[in-house]
Amino acid sequence: MHLDKDILNRFIDGELAPAEMVQVAQQLASEPGWSAYLRSQEKLKTVLAERFRQVETTVPQRLIDAAKKAPLSPWWTAQMRLREILAMRWLIPAGSLLAASLFVLWFAAPSGLLMEDASGHMIAGARLAETLNTQLASAGNPSATTQIGISFRDRTGHDCRTFVSGSNAGLACHQDDAWQIQVLASTAREDPGAAYQMAGAAMPPAVRDRVQAIIAGSPFDAAAERAARDRHWSGQ
Amino acid sequence: MELHAVDAALQTLPDEQREALALVLIEGLPYRQAADLLGIPIGTLTSRIGRARQSLALALGV
């Protein structure tokens, strides 16, 4: 794919198809010439996020009213609900770093990234759950839409895995027959050289910090990862 | 960065660009939804966002 600013803008905004998102991310890793532009645009998003509430007033009232009355799709309604949930649970206590990430969080959701269980917990959707259940990072699958980072056991005995899907990264732990989402964040970071690498190497600080907070021992090696999968991530 | 500088930069944008940018980058609407809301083709929306981004980045020195 030929990279240009239009493509990169759509990439940053999560407007490309999942396969295209992965392809662009891979190309960016090998085409550092775009790093200045990416850095500029991520900085711009951060600045706008910091000005979020005030900037809302720049949207004409007629559009705000129209947006509230518009017959939104079930998908978009779900994303707004997701946005509210994420804002309540993670973004406010986590501060502006994650707030800046909000812009891209919901774009992966239509492909089955997240859902809410009966208790209101955020859990992996069907497609992500399937990936978390079956995909071995040690086996390698660079063409997969969702990439698995590291797997490990947490201090409460649950098996956990990090993942990257499009421009989102997260941590999920297997509990009560579901993958409970512990944290979700954008892979966009301040250091553009590493901003769009895939899998565990480019885990956002929020994900990395959460891993460090709950991990018991070391991440699984290939044999342990395979064994955990064969035990259906049942933990200890 | 001074927040008033952001406001000032936003105010320099033509209304059509500021609307497109705000709906997508701030309100978080998908391109399609924003284009429908503004009553413009998605290609037009994309180009407005691109021009707005470029102008803001230049104005803010980011």
Q: Which pLDDT score, from 0 to 100, does residue A117 have?
A: 67
The burial of A32, by beta-carbon neighbours within 10 Å (0-12 exposed, 13-18 middle, 19 or more buried), is given as exposed
Report the chain A residue with the minimal C-alpha distance to residue B1. Answer: A47
Q: Is B33 on the interface with A (CB under 8 A)?
A: yes
Name the residue with higher pLDDT: A98 or A67.
A67
Q: In this complex, which of A58, A63, A79 lies closest to B37 when CB atoms are compared?
A: A63
Q: Is A233 on the interface with B (CB under 8 A)?
A: no
Q: Is B3 on the interface with A (CB under 8 A)?
A: yes
Q: Is A20 on the interface with B (CB under 8 A)?
A: no
* Confidence at A197, pLDDT banded by 50, 70, 90: very low
Find chain B residues with C-beta within 8 A of A63's C-beta: 19, 23, 37-38
> How many C-beta atoms surround the C-beta of residue A225 within 10 A?
22
Tens-place pLDDT, residues A102-148 = 333 333 333 456 666 666 667 887 788 889 999 998 787 777 778 88
Report the chain B residue with the minimal C-alpha distance to residue A50. Answer: B3
Interface touch B30/A15, C-beta < 8 Å: yes
- Amino acid found at A218: S
Find chain B residues with C-beta within 8 A of A60's C-beta: 15, 19
A95-107 average pLDDT score: 33
* Res A188 pLDDT > 60: no
CA atoms within 13 A of residue B13's CA, in its CB half-sphere: 28
Interface touch B33/A76, C-beta < 8 Å: yes
- Beta-bridge partner residues of A171: A162, A183
Q: What φ, ψ does residue A43 adopt, rounded to 5°?
A: -65, -40
